[in-house]
Amino acid sequence: MSGRLPFREWVASLQERVEKALARHLPSAETVPARLHRAMRYSCLDGGKRARPLLAFAAGELCAAPAEKLEIVSCALEMIHAYSLVHDDLPCMDNDVLRRGRPTCHVEFGEATALLAGDALQTRAFELVAGENLGAPVVQIEMLRCLARASGSLGMAGGQAIDLDAVGRSLDLPELERMHAMKTGALIRAAIRLGALCGEPLSEPSKEALDRFGQRVGLLFQVVDDILDCTASTAALGKTAGKDSAADKPTCVGRMGLERAREFAGRLREQALESLQGFGERAGRLVEVTDFIARREF
């Protein structure tokens, strides 16, 4: 039924659904220690494009996955993503004060609470995927491995570390792609894989095609991020614009210039869509989400 909703409405309905599910799957703001739980809720609720949940739900449509399961993996993905933002914004990292149009977590709650909130969000994500409502343990274990690999030292956290080490240094394009693939791409790929794991098993060739799609769309997401960091306003982004170039961070735009970065994004979009061709109409939402990511302005 949701398959028939126009894209914008589908996005809005999922964003609302994920928001409600996150509110339910996080400890209440009154649960002791209340300050920590308020910081966790502050960092997850009321915002974000929910790009990873959109991809998980869209991938779930390929495999007739039930929405209840997609909701849970979406919450776990958002918690991992939120934890990484909270820690990334800390003074010892990017030292940023604005996120999703509001003060960052450590500005609002202090550094120590923000540190612990990030830590506990990561834990809660794994706890959710290990929870009772997700179905067969053998599939949950596969999901947990996928989520851990994507977010650990060979995935997201490792990408952050490479990013740190690269400040002021020039990365060549393969190095830059590798960093992006880890820092942002890994969790995007995991979102797609986790969405698919919520439904009927895919054949090996289908899995591989979907993972090729995930690779391309993950890189696309980051290249568009780099472009927006240069071209969009702080107000539009809800986070500090221009900070990557100001901090002399390696970005695609810095490496290849704005025009070639746009061309690169266009190629990645085409490659992503090509990987979906074998799926036919079942991949309709994935096509739409790809265009949403390619054309987003925030």
Q: Is 235 in the site for its own copies (CB under 8 A)?
A: no
From 12, 64, 141, 236, residue interacting with its own copies (rule: CB under 8 A)? 141
Q: Is 162 in the site for its own copies (CB under 8 A)?
A: yes
From 49, 102, 149, 243, residue interacting with its own copies (rule: CB under 8 A)? 149
252 contacts: CB under 8 Å, gap ≥ 6? 176, 180, 222, 223, 226, 227, 261, 264
Query: Residue 66 or residue 110: which is nearer to its own copies going by CB?
Result: 110
Count other C-beta atoms under 10 Å from residue 189's C-beta: 26
From 12, 64, 112, 236, residue interacting with its own copies (rule: CB under 8 A)? 112
Query: Residue 144 or residue 223: which is nearer to its own copies going by CB?
Result: 144
Decide: 163 and 250 in contact? Cβ < 8 Å.
yes
Q: Minimum CB separation from its own copies for residue 40, in Å?
A: 7
**x/- contact string, 78-107, with its own copies (CB under 8 A)?**
-----x---x--xxxx--------------
Residues 36-65 that bind its own copies (CB under 8 A): 36-37, 40
Cα→Cα distances 136→67, 98, 118, 141, Å: 16, 40, 28, 9
With CA atoms as reference, report the closest residue to 298 among 235, 256, 245: 235
Q: Is 157 in the site for its own copies (CB under 8 A)?
A: yes
One-letter amino acid identity for 148? A
| Residue 72 to residue 67: CA distance in whole angstroms | 9
Maximum distance among all Cα pairs of the chain, rounded to whole angstroms? 51
Q: Minimum CB separation from its own copies for residue 120, in Å?
A: 4
Decide: 275 and 283 in contact? Cβ < 8 Å.
no
**How many chain residues interact with its own copies (CB under 8 A)?**
49
With CA atoms as reference, report the closest residue to 100 among 50, 156, 163, 37: 50
Segment near its own copies (CB under 8 A); pick from 13-21, 51-59, 148-156, 270-278:
148-156
Query: Residue 2 or residue 95: which is nearer to its own copies going by CB?
Result: 95
Query: Residue 36 or residue 209: which is nearer to its own copies going by CB?
Result: 36
Query: Residue 64 or residue 167: which is nearer to its own copies going by CB?
Result: 167
One-letter amino acid identity for 25? H
Decide: 219 and 181 in contact? Cβ < 8 Å.
yes
Judged on CB neighbours under 10 Å (0-12, 13-18, 19+), 35 is: middle
One-letter amino acid identity for 238? G
Query: Residue 55 or residue 150: which is nearer to its own copies going by CB?
Result: 150
Terminal Cα-to-Cα distance of the chain (whole angstroms): 29
Segment near its own copies (CB under 8 A); pick from 30-38, 66-74, 202-210, 254-262:
30-38
Query: Residue 61 or residue 78: which is nearer to its own copies going by CB?
Result: 78
Beta-ladder partners of 103: 98
With CA atoms as reference, report the closest residue to 191 among 158, 215, 159, 227: 215
Query: Residue 151 or residue 275: which is nearer to its own copies going by CB?
Result: 151
Residues at the interface with its own copies (CB under 8 A): 27, 31-33, 35-37, 40, 83, 87, 90-93, 110-113, 115-116, 118-120, 122-124, 126-127, 130-131, 137-138, 140-141, 144-145, 148-149, 151-154, 157-158, 160-162, 164-165
